[in-house]
Amino acid sequence: MKDSCVCKPMGGLVCGQVKEFSTADGGATNVLKNYPCGPEGGGGSERVWIFETDVEQSVKLALSSDEFSGVWAVGYDGTNCNTVSCIAGGQKGAAFMAQPGFKYAIVVEHPLSGAVFAKLSTYCGLEIEIDCDDGVDDDFDGLVDCADPSCSNKDGCPPAFESSCDDGIDNDEDGQVDCADEECAQDPWCIETCTVNFDAQCGTKDGRVTAEFAKDVSNYSCGPEAGGYEVIYRFSSNLTNQVKVKLKSGVESMGMYALLEEGQGCMPSACFAYGKTELVFPNEPGSITYVVVDSAKNSGGYYDIEFQCN
- The answer on 207 and 96 residing in a single domain is no
Amino acid at 221: S
- pLDDT band of 48, cuts 50, 70, 90: very high
Is the pTM higher than 0.75? The answer reads no
Say if 164 falls within a structural domain. Answer: no
Residue 193 within any structural domain of the chain: no
Least confident of 29-33, 54-58, 93-97, 256-260: 29-33
In a domain, 184, yes or no: no
Q: Would you say residue 175 lies in a domain?
A: no
pLDDT for residue 179: 78
Can you give the residue range of the structural domain that contains 242? 198-309
Instruction: Note whether 119 and 202 are same-domain residues.
Output: no
Whether residue 101 is predicted with pLDDT greater than 60 in this model: the reply is yes
CATH of residue 85's domain is 2.60.120
Q: Is the pLDDT of residue 3 over 50?
A: no
Residues 10 and 119 reside in one and the same domain = yes
What lies within 8 Å, CB to CB, of 265 at 6+ separation is 193
Single-letter amino acid code for the residue at 23: T
**135: in domain:** no
pLDDT of res. 26 = 82
Residues 224 and 121 in one domain: no
* 109 and 11 in a common domain: yes
The pLDDT-based confidence of 43 (bands split at 50, 70, 90) is low
Q: What number is the average pLDDT over the span 275-296?
A: 96
Q: Is the pLDDT of residue 70 over 80?
A: yes
| pLDDT tens profile 198-247 | 999 999 999 999 999 999 887 888 889 898 999 999 999 999 999 999 99
215 and 111 co-located in one domain? no
Domain closes at, from 125, 146, 181 = 125
pLDDT(277) > 90: yes
* Domain boundary pick from 125, 154, 170: 125
In a domain, 192, yes or no: no
Measured in degrees and rounded to the nearest 5, phi and psi for residue 10 equal: -95, 5
Q: Please state, in angstroms and rounded to a whole number, the distance separating the CA atoms of residues 36 and 52.
A: 22
Question: Does one domain contain both 223 and 111?
Answer: no
Tell whether 204 and 296 lie within a shared domain.
yes
**Would 257 be classed as within a structural domain?**
yes
- Asked, for residue 148, whether it belongs to a domain, the answer is no
**Domain endpoint, select from 125, 149, 173:** 125
Residues 211 and 118 in one domain: no
Number of domains comprising the chain: 2
Average pLDDT over the chain, rounded to whole? 89
Contact call for residues 20 and 13 (beta carbons, < 8 A): no
